[in-house]
Structure formats: structure tokens, C-alpha cells
Amino acid sequence: QPRLVESGGGLIQPGGSLRLSCEASGFRLSIYPIAWFRQAPGKEREGVSCITYSARNTTYEDSVKGRFTISRDNAKNTVYLQLNNLKPEDSAVYYCAAPAFGDECLLVSRAYDYWGQGTQVTISS
């Protein structure tokens, strides 16, 4: 059974940085695109970033461009999301997701079949 596990969340002050990790087990993450989503209380889940299996293509939601960076280490079966210059509005549970097939980098929930349990990111002074 494919499994994704996120880690790296926490409480941090505005302007700070975090690195989130998404580690896969039960399947080779290296052959799939991976996306990060986030969901804040009372809001819909939104796509943040995605990366194709080759890492040639990445996509970012407009509000995180220039601040977040997605990367992958296929040898470690892990995808990372570097979060810099964090703002209070970035506070949310962050999830990584993988599709059952394909290599399209899409920021829509319905494109993904496997989800992690999420990691909480809270930005507060």
C-alpha cells in the first residue's frame, strides 16, 4: 500500500524558514510527480507546488512564488518543500500527494490519489 509521510512542520515567527519533507514507502516515489497542498481552518485545500518525476518542471501557486522551493531526492524517495520568508497567511496543514499514474504537474486535488497525513505549519509572533 503506497504511503506518504510528511514532516518538518512547526511553529515559527514571521520571516522564518522551514523545510518540509515528504517520504514515500511502499512505492517508488521517483517515477511520480509530487504535489504539496495546504489547508487552513475554514478554507478549502489549495495547491502550493508540484514537481515532475524528473524534476524538470515545477509549478508554484502565485502567493508562494519566490519564497517556496520544491525539490526531490529520488535516491531517498523524498520530496522537499523549502519555505522561506514565511507569513502568517502561510499557516496551514501541509500535505503531499501523488497520482496513481501520469507525470502531469497539476495543482488540483482531484489529480492525486495518495495523500499523507499532513504536517502543521504555524506562523506567529
pLDDT tens across 90-122, in order? Answer: 999 999 999 988 888 899 999 999 999 999 999
Q: Work out the average pLDDT over 4-29.
A: 95
pLDDT tens, 64-77?
A: 999 999 999 989 99
Distances (CA, A) of 49 to 19, 45, 125: 14, 13, 26
Cell output for 73: 531526492
The CA distance from 8 to 80, in Å, is 10
Distance from C-alpha of 34 to C-alpha of 104, rounded to nearest angstrom: 9
Q: Which amino acid is at 15?
A: G
**Nearest Cα to 79, choosing from 13, 2, 17, 24?**
24
For residue range 25-61, list pLDDT tens digits in order.
888 888 899 999 999 999 999 999 999 999 999 999 9
Separation of alpha carbons 87 and 5, rounded Å: 24
- Cα–Cα distance measured from residue 3 to residue 25, given in angstroms and rounded to the nearest whole number: 5
